[in-house]
Amino acid sequence: AKSAGGNRFEIADPEADARAITRHGLTNALPAALDRGEFFIEYQPLVHLGDGSVHGAEALVRWCHPQHGVLGPDRFIPLAERTGLIVPLGRWVLQEAVRQARFWSRRHTDGGPLRINVNLSPAQLQHPGLVADTVDVLERSGLEPGALCLEVTESALIGADEDRLKPLRQLAEMGVDIALDDFGTGYSNLANLRRLPVSVLKLDRSFTQGMQRHPADPVDLKIVEGIVSLAHSLELAVTVEGVETAAQAEQLRELGCDTAQGWYYARPGAPDRIHTLVLADAV
């Protein structure tokens, strides 16, 4: 808070200033961090609501910073977006996650391959190398395109014209799934869904949170029911995020959601945990 009177040029908010310095420092450190291999990926399982079996995993990037410790993506993805470093960083995440998924698929041949979900930021969507890079990563790893799902936020696609959608359409035609992430947080124009090359809706965590109350708000339930039936009529699968309790999982299953992700099943973690979960499934 600004001190009353006195020196008018005093720093208004020392904490905000410190945060800005950290942001600045983190931004400057990003390129070398990528070179030095300071990023790593945690995987969070996606589970079939019907029988609880593992459907796949979402790759979530973290930065093991030499001074600040492990930083979550909310701390550095926006900075990487602003500087353009998100393009090489995103490419690294894709390559690493696909390599991991290929490793899983070698071990688990029955029941189809484990799916891998990778987040794409708006800057990556606009980068001209997206399709070629993705094809390259898939070909080099040997992972089938159908095992990859790219998550794009609703807001990144709002108002996107055909040119902007073209790379996603090309990837979808190759068999890569495109998911609309954080669905329901933007100005979802439901009619607009039809024209997007998406095959999965990821319902934002805010819907799941609304279901935590007992009994859940009947209007919330109606909304989710409506979204699910619309999605299914457009042949989209519905994934729900942020499932933290058995009650939520049950409710969402009854509402017809297909797959789920959340702390109730597992927190994001090291890749061998996914391996263990799938093995446990197989017996």
DSSP letters, 59-70, are EEEEEEETTTEE
CB of 219 to ligand C2E, least distance (A): 22
251 binds, among Ca ion, ligand C2E, none (CB under 5 to 8 A by kind): none
Binding mask 116-155 for ligand C2E (x = CB under 6 A): ---x-x----------------------------------
Residue with Cβ nearer ligand C2E (60 or 160):
60
User: Do 196 and 158 contact (CB within 8 A), yes or no?
Assistant: no
CB of 175 to ligand C2E, least distance (A): 21
CB of 8 to ligand C2E, least distance (A): 39
Site for ligand C2E in 22-81 (CB under 6 A): 44, 60-61, 72-74, 77
Buried b (16+ CB within 10 A) or exposed e, 149-165: bbbbbbebbeebeeeeb
The H-or-E segment that residue 261 falls in is none
CA 102 – CA 28 distance, rounded (Å): 33
Regarding 182 and contact with ligand C2E (CB under 6 A), the answer is yes
DSSP letters, 80-106, are HHHHTTHHHHHHHHHHHHHHHHHHHHH
SS (H, E, C) 36-49: HCCEEEEEEEEEEC
Under the rule (CB under 6 A), what is the footprint of ligand C2E?
44, 60-61, 72-74, 77, 90, 93, 119, 121, 181-182, 241-244, 261-263, 268
Under the rule (CB under 5 A), what is the footprint of Ca ion?
119, 151, 181-182, 241
